[in-house]
Structure 1
Amino acid sequence: MKTEKYQLYKERIPKQGQHIIASYDDEGIIVYQAFRPSIAAYAVEHQRFGGTDYSFDRMSWIKPNFLWMMYRAGWATKAGQERILAIKISHGGFENILEEATYSSFNGKVYESHEAWKAALEQTEVRLQWDPDHGPNGEKLERRAIQLGMKGDILKKFNEDFIISIEDVTDFVASQREKINNHDQLLVPAEQVYKTSALLAQKLQLD
């Protein structure tokens, strides 16, 4: 995992607006999830999700932005979120998820009416949310971060077709958790703005 000093990251990344912030290369894009140890251990060993503790009947949320994941998981200290996984998925798979996504709440710029939004919400297997992004110490930022929830067939497709690799980055998280009050020393994954097609950008209301 390529990393950089948080202060450099902070200077490069847009401070406002809606952007998909992520680590990616020509092969794919990294998304993050946090799990209990048993689920994470199975996923790393098999490079797929499964086992007795993982359920395909629940909605599973992915987050491309590392610091957003750290805020939600309390830097791997919250119960059931003690292990952080960096999951590389194909660009085609990620864009498939974005194409299928419906906003969790009504957005008048995307849906012509509440009825149209509710109909889309009933049919979709992907939920889309834009939430305030957060800094290393949990401080709320003006920039907004995306998270995507999957269920049903697309969750199975994510698991069987989209995943390229699964890496447990909990040790890295723990080492950096000790530095969250020292931004000159704090390291984060090197991320940048992820570009999509014009059609997707309009749907996602990207800035």
Structure 2
Amino acid sequence: MPLRQIRADFDSGTIAVYQAYPPAIAEAALAAGRFVAPFSFTRMTWIKPSLLWLMHRSNWARKPGQERILAVRITRAGWEQALAHGVLTAPVPAIHGSAAAWSEAFEAARVHVQWDPERTLRGAALNHYSIQVGIGRTLIRTFADEWVTGLTDLTPTVHRIDTLVRAGKHAQAQRLLPAERPYPLGADLARRIQSDT
């Protein structure tokens, strides 16, 4: 398994990313079929193609303010546009040169990219990393109005998976997870975000 690799549920035109929201934001978005108020268009929004990483972060939709889990289908063109604007959240000399150059790029970035340890069904950290992508304020309208192709409420599914995991029924739980497979990247884009594929 490569150390840093995007693994996702994707097809020829779209990719699924996941977000956790309070009920008011999720219900308004699901009713409209797109993000609308009270979703904030003035702060960075983080999207993650790893459902298990988000389950670790939201404690299986039990953390306050993260009780609803949405699968957000966005265009692959939009996803790759986001990555092309991305600046890593920590400096890498081979990519950024000096720390000062990274700091300047990071402050001006429209998108932030961070790699965090991937997680098991039980939330244990693995030895390879999953990506999360922060869409900045200057791109949020584009994300919401142009990239998003559909929203699905995964909350009942993640509650079911959590129940199965707690009951020790890991094989059944695993079958309910989305199929996440390596996402192809061009060499320049992979280098920019420090992906090993």
TM-score (norm: length of structure 1): 0.89
Tell which deviates more after alignment, 151-160 or 90-99.
Answer: 151-160
- The whole-number CA distance in structure 2 between the counterparts of 1:100 and 1:32 is 20
| Match in the other structure for 1:189 | 178
1:83-122 matched pairs, under 5 angstroms: 83-122=68-107
Unmatched 5+ stretches in structure 1:
1-13
Q: Is the 8 A contact 2:86 2:193 kept in 1?
A: no
Report how far residue 43 of structure 1 moved: 0.9
2:39 counterpart of 1:39: no
Q: How many residues align?
A: 192
Unmatched 5+ stretches in structure 2:
none
- The structure 1 segments of at least 4 consecutive aligned residues displaced by more than 3 Å after TM superposition are none
- The whole-number CA distance in structure 2 between the counterparts of 1:144 and 1:83 is 24
Tell which deviates more after alignment, 176-185 or 70-79.
Answer: 176-185
| Match in the other structure for 2:61 | 76
2:128 counterpart of 1:143: yes
| Match in the other structure for 2:8 | 22
Deviations 1:72-107 (A, max 9, x none): 111111110000000000010000000011111111
* Residue type at the aligned position of 2:17: V
- The whole-number CA distance in structure 1 between the counterparts of 2:7 and 2:51 is 9
Pick one of 90, 109, 112 that aligns with 1:124.
109
| Match in the other structure for 1:169 | 154
Pick one of 40, 58, 65 that aligns with 2:50.
65
RMSD in angstroms over aligned alpha carbons? 1.1
Query: Larger relative contact order (C-alpha < 8 A, sep ≥ 6)?
Result: 1
Report how far residue 62 of structure 1 moved: 0.4
Q: Is the 8 A contact 1:56 1:151 kept in 2?
A: no
- The whole-number CA distance in structure 2 between the counterparts of 1:20 and 1:88 is 16
Tell which deviates more after alignment, 197-206 or 26-35.
Answer: 197-206
Report how far residue 47 of structure 1 moved: 1.8
TM-score (norm: length of structure 2): 0.94
- The whole-number CA distance in structure 1 between the counterparts of 2:92 and 2:119 is 23
Report how far residue 109 of structure 1 moved: 2.3
